[in-house]
Amino acid sequence: MRFRPNFVDELTILVCTLERDPIPGNLRAQWMREMFPDCQVCHLTDDVPQEPSEHPQFWEIWREICRRFHPEPIDFVFASESYGHRLAAELGAQFVPVDPERLATGASGRAIRENPFGHWRLLPAVVRPYYAGRVAIVGPESTGKTTLAGLLADHYQTIAVPEYGRIHTDQFGVDCSDGDFTRIAQGHVALAKAAARQANRVLILDTDPVLTAVWSDMLLGRRDSWFSSFKDTADLYLLCDIDVPWVDDGTRYFRDVETRQRFMAACRKELEVRGLRHVVISGGWEHRLERAIAAIEERFPRIGD
C-alpha cells in the first residue's frame, strides 16, 4: 500500500443518536456536518442495541447499518473504543484506533458532557453556544447596565453583546416605530448568536428582546406580535434597580422618578409573567458587581471549574 498523508481519500462519519439522548440528534449531526464539510456525514436515528448484551444479533445489526450508509467496500474503521476491532472484522476492514486513552484530548466525550465548563477548551466553536450560559442585564435606562456588562465580561474573560437599540438609534434617530423595535430585537438576536461561539462559558447580554418589548410598551403603549413569539430567552436576568443617579447622555427619555418607577415595575412584571429567572441588582456600584457575580455563580455552579 502506497503512503498517503491521510489514511483515506474519502471518509464517512456515522452519527448515531437515540431519542432519549441528552443532546438532540439532529443538532449533533448538524455540528458534525459543519466541522467536517469534506466528509459524508450520515445520521442514524434507529432505536438499535448499544451493547452486544442487548441483542443476540448485535453485530449483524451494526454490520448491516454500516453497509446501508456505505455500500461501497470499507477499508478502515476508525474508533476510540475497543468495539472497533470486532466491527472492522465484520466489515472486512482494518481497525484504526484513535486515541483510546484520550491522551490527545485529556477527556472522554462523556466527561465533557458531564462538565462542559471544566473542559471548555475542548469544545469546538460550533458546540459552545449549546452549553454557554446566557446572562441578560435589563432594567430602566441609566441604571448602569452597560457598565455592569463590561465588568462582568472582564471578570469572566468573555464577550459582552452590546445593546443593539443604542446602535439602531445612533444610526436612525430616537423616534421609534413598531417596526423599529422589532428590528432592534432581531438585530440583538443576530448579534448574540454570532457572539456565542466566542463566549467563554458565559455570554453577557446588554439587554435583550424581553427588555425591548418593555421599551415598546413605554414609548408606544403597545408592542408588535413578534415579541409574543420570542422564546429564546436568557438563562438568567439581572434586573438593575433605579437606586442610582440618573445621568443624561443625550439620548435618554425618562428622568422623573415616577416614570422610572413605572419602568422598573414594568421590567419586573415582564420577567415574572414570562417566568424568567431573575435577580434584582441594587446598591452601590461595587456591591452591584459582587451581587451579579454571586447570582451568576449560583445559576452556573461549575463556571469556575
Amino acid at 4: R
Q: What is the pLDDT along the chain (305 residues), one digit of tens a residue?
A: 344 457 788 899 999 999 999 899 999 999 999 999 999 999 999 999 999 999 999 999 999 999 999 999 999 999 988 889 999 999 999 999 998 888 887 888 888 888 999 999 999 999 999 999 999 999 998 899 999 999 999 999 999 999 998 888 888 888 888 898 999 999 999 999 999 999 999 999 999 999 999 999 999 999 999 999 999 999 999 999 999 887 776 666 677 888 999 999 999 999 999 999 999 999 988 899 999 999 999 999 988 77
CA separation for the pair 33, 15 (Å, rounded)? 10
CA separation for the pair 131, 120 (Å, rounded)? 9
CA separation for the pair 130, 216 (Å, rounded)? 30
Question: Residue 182 corresponds to which cell in the numbers above?
Answer: 422589532
State the pTM of this model: 0.86
Classify domain 12-100 by CATH architecture: 3-Layer(aba) Sandwich (3.40)
At 130-159, the pLDDT tens digits run 999 999 999 998 899 999 999 999 999 999
What is the domain partition of the chain in residue ranges?
12-100, 132-299
At 182-204, the pLDDT tens digits run 999 999 999 999 999 999 999 99
CA separation for the pair 135, 211 (Å, rounded)? 13
3-state secondary structure 109-128: HHHHHHCCHHHHHHCCCCCH
Pick the CATH number of 132-299 from 3.40.50.720, 1.20.1730.10, 3.90.226.10, 3.40.50.300: 3.40.50.300
CA separation for the pair 214, 139 (Å, rounded)? 9
In the DSSP assignment, the letter for residue 238 is: E
